[in-house]
Structure 1
Amino acid sequence: MSCALVIFFFGFLTAVYPYENASVQKNGVLDTGNMVSQNSDNSTLDRNNNTNHDLVYPREWLADLFYQSLVTFSVKDVGSSACKVQTQMYLNHLKNNSRWAVKMSDSWVKYPNGLLIGLTHHIGVYDECINVHQPVQGKYCMSNIQLHPVTTGTKKFSQKPGNNDPAWEEILGFNDVGDQVRRNHVNIGICIPEACTFEDLEFALQRRLDSIFLAQNVNATVKVEPSLCSTNKDVHPFGMGYHLTRMILVLLFLTCCLSTIVHLIILKKIKDNEETSKFVTYIKWFSIIQNMSDLLKYEKKNPLDVFYGVKLLNMAIVLCTHKYLYIVWGPLQYPPQVEEALMNKRPSLFDNVFQNVMYTSSNGVDPFFFFSAYLTYFSLKSHYNKRKSGWSEVPRNILYKYLRMVPAYGAVILATIYIIPHMRNGPFWSYKIQPEIDRCKHYGWTNLLFINNFIGYDKQCLLHSWYISCLLQFHVIGASVLYVYYKSKRRGLMLMWSILIISLTTPFVLTFYNRSIGFVKLNYSNLENVFNDSQEFKDLYRPFYTRMTPYVGGLLAGVLVDNLKERKIQFSMTTTYVGSFITLIVVYFIQAYAVFFYDSTRPYNAIEHALYATLSHCTFTILFGVVTVFHSSWGYGYLENVFNNRITVFFGKMLYSVYLVNIVVIMSMDYSRRFAVYLGEEQLFKEFTYNACACYFVAFVLYLSVEAPFANITKKIFYG
């Protein structure tokens, strides 16, 4: 009877409040799927015969038109006299098959392929072009060509052409709804003489394409960015900033080396029972031996060390996610691998668990916020108990945290501005890295003040640095709240619960009021330019007040664990494993629910998205809240040995440095690519593994030379 009432109730709601008719219009594009099925013969005849004022498609395929335009193309009769002379020299030698001229011609594509599946970047062989030096220096330029019909008449395009539709409809009728690579944008690398400018290429190529494409009712608009033209010469200036940064980094390296040598001498004297002066002990701050000893230090009975392993696992997921995104931002050999996930019309929570988590992981750093609060609770507990000073202890602790974070942070920013640009090159290198340099030059000071998550997202130095600002902002809240709690537990708990309620309400209100999506949805409009007009990235992703839930949850978890220990409450092994497993399943369903939002036919519901914006920040909070409670009781037995051992503790202590350098390392590798990437499982495994190794190697150097030494100095200054 109850089932019948439920079915009747939902049937009544469906009848009274029907969904919007998605078949009439999808994302502003008329769907003629039903019309085609009813009049398939006539519709096909109209397309082929171009009747009914439909678009007149070219008789030849796009690649053939490009071949006709490019096979004999050169930047002749344009630009300066030097450009004309070098171009004529190139053409004369090309007729004679001179090796240098043929290398220039051979280095770029004349007949592009893969146009239908979205292979939009036809790079050619970059190094073959720029390594031509005599008698003409080769210059490589990447041109962007946008294709549109000259006139469409009354033609209406479907969102996805059928197999029997003209292939041209995939190009000229492309509907940019954000889940596909733009088929009507073609990027072709071209090798020209160095004396010719990007403007010369743009003018000459536009003139040549017009002569071929306009006759076929196609408008091909050429755009060449100056930063997409390069030779083998370093175009980035070696100014005062470069020399000062290099001097600072070299000085730090030499200091570490000399300190290590002195430390070895000290150890020898101690072994020989010789006295050493007290001042030489300060040398140990920069000693690699001392800092490595601290890094390798392992206390088996420390119950908090297990969280190094948990954070290490989460960092691996973050590294893979960042790497995956940067690969997708670049040229792909087979884009449908990504498009099939973004265009999933019937998403499922069970088909691909990893993919579901990947595409809904805009809350991926929430575990770090949770554990930061949880560990802060116990560290400040002992700290406040030892020091009986008043409110002055709060700003003292905040300043200590700030000075611990700044040196390594500043080193990464300086290296990004002045060192990294000189380390690589490639067809996209200057175009991609220069905006990052400019943002860090002009707005890097906001990073060092930890307020960059409040400035325009198009001005943010280092894409991932908003997290570091949130981390310090949360520490300001945590240090203040915990001081209140240790002075008065009742007031402290009231304050924590008040902040938790605010943290749950804020994303709901912002999402509902702005009618935005409840998470940062990954689509090609975001992937092509992450600093675009994304309301979710601006209002929901970066501000600390929309992400406070896991941090406050970590503080409350610390309070709960403390109370359980005081009352000596224990949980059985069965309760621990069963409870954790059930929590994991529930959390996954909440987390992966966002895959349904990738269905473009799903009507927008503001309340649904607002609820998800709130609940998504509860997933990891609930999961790790349960884990910390069970861990403080019986624990997880032998499973804890996986997360708590010398290896996990060693790598876990470097997580701050790893997070700092990971985007810089990824940029240096992916921005210098010479080829389109195929996202096969084997290739992804290689990319992820190499990226993780490179990140940890650079982080290891940063930790030993900057983070650990300055942490030793800061600790000595503040706490003796």
Structure 2
Amino acid sequence: MVRIGIRCLVVALILSAYVRSEWNFGEIDNLVIAYNDKDLNDSITYQKVKESLYDNPRKFNDTLCVLQFRRIFEGVSKKEKWAEKVMDSWGRVPPSGLYWGRTIDLGHFDECISTAHDFGEENEIFVGQYCIASYPLHVLLHDNLDNQETIKLRNAHPTVFSRGVCVPDACSLDMLDSIFKQFIYNRTKIQVNETMFNAKECTINEVERFNGYDIFALIVFSLVGLLVVLSTFYDIMTGYLNRKRNDLYIIFSIPSNAKKLFNIDPKKGSSSRIECLNGIRFISIVWVVYGHIFATLPNVPIANYKYLWEWLTEIYTMVIVSGSFAVDTFFVLSGFLLAYHLLREMDKRGRLTFAHIMWMYFHRYLRLFPILAATILFTTTLHRFIGDGPLWKKVGGKVGINCPEYWWTSLLYIQNIVNPSKLCLIHTWYLSVDMQLYVLAPLVLIPLHKWRKKFIPVIIFIMAGLSSYTFYVILEEEANIMKSIETFWSLNLNKMFVFVYFGIQTRAVPWLLGVLLGYGIFNLKEQRCQLSKLTVTAGWVCSLITVLAIIFGPYEAQQILAKNDVLDNAFYGSLSRIGWSLCVIWLIFACHQGYGGLLDSFLSYSMWNVLGRFTYAIYITHPTIQLSVIGSSRDCEVVGTYESFQRLWRDLGIIMTVSTFLVLIFESPIVALEQFLLRSEHKRTNINGRSTQVVDLDESSQNGEISSRM
């Protein structure tokens, strides 16, 4: 096995070196095939393109830039195919639907990038460079303010028209800016002062080279892949030969881990199971994904921008913009499960030692680390190789932009404190806050276990203090919390946004409410709380009214002409999370105690046991995938309710596929390794006449039991 592993590793390193040298030549091959046809009168050859794009990197040359522009126009007048293709790839001015808010025409990215022509002279090869030129709208609308107002939308209205253009790759941004401004002035006599070109919106057909970090990532992923292949091969062969398996050798086995991952646990009534939780978790993460569709809209080229604000202020879309409350659901679940399980463990032991607490922290870190670290490593290094398109550098380039500098704060879960305005992966602020609450949990749970009900007023006092502080800050800063659209679309991570959304003091309240629920169910043991029908009905009615008020209450504040009511915002910002958390608490309590009816049956359906195991991976990967899909888009998208569902199912399909591989390859092996080591330690201590117990707060990752993790 060792010899086979070493040989496979050598082969993997050789292949990675080959991939490094030949990366992206598939595009060059397509370019040559497309332009080596004699009927196109194109004399380009494979070797010249290869030398131009790889061996001799292109350099900006203003003289050559102007000359090749002239050759393009001359070629068009002579009806030369290569020149016609260059101009055919340009976006149209003005585009159809300009007064409906379409202010961008991306043209044809692939046609531009794959266009090349050899003029037959030394070092003069035309290779297309795709850029997005930004024209001030008043140039297109001829300073007609009435027309401009028809596509103007509050603070997010477009001020420029963006047009995809295909230009010589010898042209620098400054030269392109000068040429286009002169062209506009000659045509309209309008002086343009704004910069028309941006480096993030220009793409040259060039070979992307690997750096040292990329090679490191390739080696890491290759080694993991090698372990998966060897472990899977061992698992299959021992099964085929009917031999006994060594549990250590099948830790990375895909078949073995898949059986555990996709197993629908039929056991019912286990004391550590609360059947409805996996349904709540998965539905909540889907709501988060759906909400981030809205959050990513500023990155999407929209064909009906005029309708966008009208759509976002429809009553239905309040469901989308309220998706942030799904995050509070996870904080309630985290506090509840941690308290419920840890109180049970302390009841068995009588106390919680320092060693047990340290093991809790190590166990938690170990379970969260693999998928998070793999995602950070990939987005920091290899992500730029997986896509292209007119928006790839601008939108796809946002993924992990701060990771090279701040990856370590993500892995230490301190990014919301150290660098809240420059997060590595912006959505992983949740992990930092949740881990910090997890670390602080013994300070709450040990006194709660010791003094029981006497300590509850202390927790209530802490929650009241935190909520009052949030109320004061929102009131003092005059923050507009209820206008979710402006809050998320600005997303400049200012001090107020960081305080309200990323702050541990804000999220601790739902978490503490979850702790109180965990204490309550722990005290009930296996007993059922007897409630009258009137009480149950009142509980459901009050919860429904509260949920509707929280989601749809800010509807008027979202309207275009709505004024900022500071007092309303302060009350909403400080109390809405409490109200939402209480509704989640009632849902869990009612379902667990048998008062959930059809809703409990639905949330307890066995398929959620499987889907719930993907929740963490979905959470880690979904923003990266959503931005990558947008960055790879070639055309404008239409905004609307039906289209938003299309995007949800499109994104969710990709996210689930990627999450499956991440769980099988990175998460499941760590779980299996930990369980193997625990079994080995248990056997060793039994031989020595001693027993050991472990605080396991993440049983659900493999067997559907309770979990304190997303």
TM-score (norm 1): 0.78
Distance 1:561 1:191, change over 3 A: same
Provide closer, same or farther for how the CA distance between residues 533 and 710 of structure 1 changes in structure 2, counting only shifts above 3 A: closer
**1:23 aligned partner:** none
Which stretch has the larger CA shift, 362-371 or 578-587?
A: 578-587
Q: CA deviation at 1:147?
A: 4.6
In the alignment, residue 438 of structure 2 is paired with which amino acid? H
Query: Does 2:334 correspond to 1:372?
Result: yes
Q: Which residue identity lines up with residue 379 of structure 1 in the other structure?
A: H
CA displacement, residues 107-165 of structure 1 (integer Å, 9 cap, x when unaligned): 1124223333322222111111111022321111012233569xxxxxxxxxxx9xxx9
Residue 221 (structure 2) aligned to one of 249, 255, 272: 249
Give the match's secondary structure for 2:573. helix
Query: Cα offset for 1:275?
Result: 5.5
Equivalent position amino acid for 1:248 in 2: V
Q: Give distance in 2, aligned partners of 1:640 and 1:625.
A: 14
- Which letter does structure 2 place at the counterpart of 1:139? Q
Give structure 1 stretches of 5+ with no counterpart. Answer: 1-77, 150-160, 345-350
Distance 2:260 2:393 in 1: 40
Query: Do structure 1's residue 229 and structure 2's residue 202 form an aligned pair?
Result: yes
| Match of residue 166, structure 2, among 191, 203, 206 | 191
Q: Specify whether residues 496 and 257 from structure 1 end up closer, same or farther in structure 2 by C-alpha distance, changes over 3 A only.
A: farther
Shift of 1:642: 2.0
The change in CA–CA distance for 1:384 and 1:717 in structure 2 (over 3 A counts) is farther
TM-aligned CA deviation for residue 512 of structure 1: 1.1
Residue 224 of structure 1: how far off its partner (Å) = 0.8
Deviates more, 1:97-106 or 1:480-489: 480-489
Aligned to 1:132: 115
- For residue 424 of structure 1, the aligned residue among 369, 383, 387 is 387
- Give the match for residue 629 of structure 2: 669
What RMSD, in angstroms, separates the aligned Cα atoms of the two structures? 2.9
Report deviation, 1:663: 0.9
1:144 corresponds to? 134
8 Å CA contact 2:400–2:425 kept in 1: the answer is no
Output the amino acid matched with 2:117. Q
Distance 1:497 1:575, change over 3 A: closer
For 2:555 and 2:420, how far apart are their aligned partners in 1? 25
Return closer, same or farther for 1:533/1:240 CA change in 2, 3 Å cut-off.
closer
Q: Secondary structure at the match of 2:510?
A: helix
| Contact persistence 2:131–2:166 (CA under 8 A) | yes
Deviation of 1:103 after TM superposition, in Å, equals 0.6
What is the match of residue 7 of structure 2?
Answer: none
TM-aligned CA deviation for residue 574 of structure 1:
6.7
Q: Provide the C-alpha distance between the structure 2 equivalents of 1:588 and 1:638, rounded to a whole number of angstroms.
A: 20
Q: Which residue of 2 aligns with 1:329?
A: 299
Equivalent position of 1:39 in the other structure: none
Q: Secondary structure at the match of 1:191?
A: strand
Choose the corresponding residue for 1:283, options 229, 249, 255.
249
375-384 or 103-112, which deviates more: 375-384
The Cα of 1:477 is off from its aligned counterpart by: 2.6
Aligned residue among 633, 648, 671 for 2:593: 633
Deviation per CA, 1:28-66: give whole Å up to 9, x if none. Answer: xxxxxxxxxxxxxxxxxxxxxxxxxxxxxxxxxxxxxxx
When residues 646 and 567 of structure 1 are mapped into structure 2, their CA distance, relative to the original with a 3 A threshold, is closer
Q: Does 1:99 align with 2:81?
A: yes
| Matches of 1:200 and 1:408, distance apart in 2 | 45
> SS where residue 199 of structure 2 aligns?
strand
Aligned position for 2:639: 679
CA gap of 1:684–1:404, structure 2 versus 1, over 3 A, is: same
How far did residue 79 of structure 1 move? 5.2
| Aligned residue number for residue 501 of structure 1 | 464
Q: State the shift of 1:370 in Å.
A: 0.8
| TM-score, scaled relative to structure 2 | 0.79
Matched residue SS, 2:322? coil
Distance 1:93 1:458, change over 3 A: farther
Alignment partner of 1:112 out of 94, 99, 114: 94
Asked whether the 8 Å contact 2:293–2:644 carries over to 1, the reply is: no
Whichever residue aligns with residue 419 of structure 1, its letter is: L
Secondary structure in 2 aligned to 1:430?
Answer: coil
Cα separation, partners in 2 of 1:415 and 1:306, compared to 1, 3 Å? same
Give the superposition deviation at 1:231: 2.7
Larger deviation, residues 467-476 vs 655-664: 467-476
Deviation at 1:563, TM superposition (A): 3.5
Q: Which residue of 1 aligns with 2:449?
A: 486
Is 191-200 or 218-227 further displaced after alignment?
Answer: 218-227
- 2:648 aligned residue: 688
Q: Give yes or no for contact 1:147–1:219 (8 Å, CA) kept in 2.
A: no
- Equivalent-residue separation in structure 2 for 1:548 and 1:453 (angstroms): 14
Distance 1:689 1:434, change over 3 A: closer
Deviation at 1:566, TM superposition (A): 6.8
Distance in 2 (CA, whole Å) between partners of 1:116 and 1:675 is 18
Equivalent residue number for residue 8 of structure 1 = none
Q: Which amino acid aligns with 2:65?
A: C
Structure 1 segment 542-553 matched on structure 2, within 5 A: 542-553=502-513
Q: Secondary structure at the match of 2:484?
A: coil
Distance 1:389 1:458 in 2: 37
Letter in 1 for 2:427: H
Q: Which amino acid in structure 2 is aligned with residue 557 of structure 1?
A: L
Q: Please, which moves more after superposition, 558-567 or 205-214?
A: 558-567
Write the letter of the residue equivalent to 2:136: Q
The alpha carbon displacement at 1:294 in A equals 2.4
Contact kept in structure 2, 1:306 and 1:644, CA below 8 Å: yes
Query: Identity over the aligned pairs, expressed in percent?
Result: 22
**Of residues 136, 139, 145 in structure 2, which corresponds to 1:168?**
145
Q: CA deviation at 1:167?
A: 5.0
* Pair 1:445–1:561, CA change in 2 (3 A): same
* Alpha-carbon displacement from aligned partner over 1:265-298 (angstroms, at most 9, x marks no partner): 44456xx5x666xxx2212322223322322151
Match of 1:405 in 2: 368
Whether the 8 Å contact between 1:560 and 1:629 is mirrored in structure 2 is no
Match runs of 1:600-679 below 5 Å: 600-679=560-639
1:382 aligns with 2:344: yes
How far apart, in 2, do the equivalents of 1:323 and 1:598 lie? 18
AA of the residue aligned to 2:201: L
Query: Is the deviation greater in 188-197 or in 327-336?
Result: 327-336
Matched residue, 1:209: 184
1:148 and 1:172 in contact (8 A); partners too: no
Q: What CA distance in whole angstroms lies between the structure 1 residues aligned with 2:608 and 2:571?
A: 36
**What is the CA distance between 1:449 and its match in structure 2?**
1.0
- For structure 2, list consecutive stretches of 5 or more residues without a partner in the other structure: 1-59, 119-125, 682-710
Matches of residues 45-84 of structure 1 in structure 2 within 5 Å? Answer: 80-84=62-66
SS of 2:394's equivalent?
A: helix
Q: What pairs up with 1:458-497 in 2 under 5 angstroms?
A: 458-490=421-453, 492-497=455-460
1:300 maps to: 268
- Cα deviations by residue, 1:453-480 (Å, 9 ceiling, x for unpaired): 2244441112211111112112123343
User: How far has the Cα of 1:504 moved from its partner?
Assistant: 1.8
Q: Tell me the amino acid that sits aligned with residue 331 of structure 1.
A: P
After superposition, the Cα gap between the structure-2 partners of 1:166 and 1:80, relative to the gap in structure 1 and judged at 3 Å, is closer
Task: Compute the displacement of 1:633 (Å).
Answer: 1.8
d(CA) in 1 for partners of 2:379 and 2:442?
Answer: 32
Q: 1:564 to 1:591 in 2, by over 3 A?
A: farther
- CA deviation after TM superposition for structure 1 residue 420, in Å: 1.4
**Residues 275 and 689 of structure 1: CA distance in aligned 2, closer, same or farther (over 3 Å):** closer
Cα distance change, pair 173–592 in 1 and its aligned pair in 2 (3 A): closer
1:617/1:389 Cα in 2 relative to 1: closer, same or farther (>3 Å)?
Answer: closer
**Residue type matched to 1:675 in 2?**
D
Q: For the residues of structure 2 that align with 1:472 and 1:570, how far apart are their CA atoms?
A: 36
- CA-to-partner distance for each residue in 1:279-332, whole Å, 9 max, x for gaps? x22123222233223221513334413210111111111111112332443110
Deviations 1:169-210 (A, max 9, x none): 3428987742x422x311111110111122211111112223
Which of 175, 180, 197 does residue 200 from structure 1 map onto?
Answer: 175
